[in-house]
Structure 1
Amino acid sequence: MANSAADSRQSHLTQYIPPKGMYEEFEDDAHYLAKVKGWGLSTKKEFWYKDRYQHCLVTIKGYEIFGETAEFNTLVIEFPDGNLTCIHPAYLKEMQSSGFGKEIIAQASGDESAAVEVKKEKKPEPAAPAAMEAKAKTPAKKEKVKKAPKLVLPEEKVHFTATVKQFALSWNHFNEDNDEVVVFENVRIEQEEPIEVGLAWGSHSKTLKKHELEPGQQLEFDGKIVKKSLPKGKDVEDEALLLDVSVAYKINNPSKITKK
Structure 2
Amino acid sequence: MAIHLPHIEDTDSMNYYPPKGDYETFVDEAHYEEKVREWGLSTTREVKKEFWFKEKTFQRLVTIKGYEVYGKTAEGNTIVIEFQDGNLSCIHPSYLKEMQSPSFGKASLTETTTIAVPVSDTKNSPTPKVEKSEPKQKAPAEKKEKPKKIELPEEKVHFTATVKQFAYTWNHFNEENDEVVVLENVVIEQDQPLELGLAWCSHSKTLKKFELSPGEALEFDGKIIKKKLAKGKDVEDDAFIIEEAVSYKLNNPSKIKKS
TM-score category (smaller protein): 0.5 to 0.7
**What does residue 4 of structure 1 align with?**
7
Matched, 1:97 2:97: no
Length-normalised TM-score, structure 2:
0.66
How far, CA to CA, are the matches of 1:237 and 1:222 in structure 2? 25
- Aligned-partner residue type, residue 133 of structure 1: V
Length-normalised TM-score, structure 1:
0.66
Give 1:224 deviation, angstroms: 1.9
**What does residue 225 of structure 1 align with?**
224
1:61-83 deviation per Cα after TM superposition (whole angstroms, max 9, x unaligned): 44333324555332221222344
**What does residue 138 of structure 1 align with?**
122
How far, CA to CA, are the matches of 1:91 and 1:172 in structure 2? 17
**What does residue 122 of structure 1 align with?**
none
**What does residue 18 of structure 1 align with?**
19
Matched, 1:243 2:237: no
- The answer for unaligned runs of 5 or more in structure 1 is 106-125
1:205-233 deviation per Cα after TM superposition (whole angstroms, max 9, x unaligned): 11111111122222121222121111232
1:92-126 deviation per Cα after TM superposition (whole angstroms, max 9, x unaligned): 55795246777347xxxxxxxxxxxxxxxxxxxx8
Counterpart among 72, 75, 80 of residue 79 in structure 2: 75
Question: Identical aligned pairs, as a percentage?
Answer: 50
**What does residue 47 of structure 1 align with?**
52
**What does residue 136 of structure 2 align with?**
none
Q: Assess, with a 3 A threshold, how the Cα gap between structure 1 residues 247 and 102 changes in structure 2: closer, same or farther.
A: closer
- The answer for unaligned runs of 5 or more in structure 2 is 130-143
166-175 vs 141-150, which deviates more?
A: 141-150
- Aligned-partner residue type, residue 185 of structure 1: E
Q: Assess, with a 3 A threshold, how the Cα gap between structure 1 residues 218 and 129 changes in structure 2: closer, same or farther.
A: same
**What does residue 112 of structure 1 align with?**
none
Asked if the contact 1:19–1:76 (Cα under 8 Å) also holds between the matched residues in 2, the reply is no
1:139-171 deviation per Cα after TM superposition (whole angstroms, max 9, x unaligned): 335799984333222233322221212223323
- CA-atom RMSD, angstroms? 4.1
Q: Assess, with a 3 A threshold, how the Cα gap between structure 1 residues 246 and 141 changes in structure 2: closer, same or farther.
A: farther
How far, CA to CA, are the matches of 2:70 and 2:8 in structure 1? 37
Q: Assess, with a 3 A threshold, how the Cα gap between structure 1 residues 29 and 158 changes in structure 2: closer, same or farther.
A: same
How far, CA to CA, are the matches of 1:259 and 1:181 in structure 2? 18
Greater helix proportion: 1
Give 1:249 deviation, angstroms: 0.8
SS in 2 for 1:86: strand
> How many pairs are equivalent?
228
Matched, 1:159 2:158: yes
Give 1:238 deviation, angstroms: 4.5
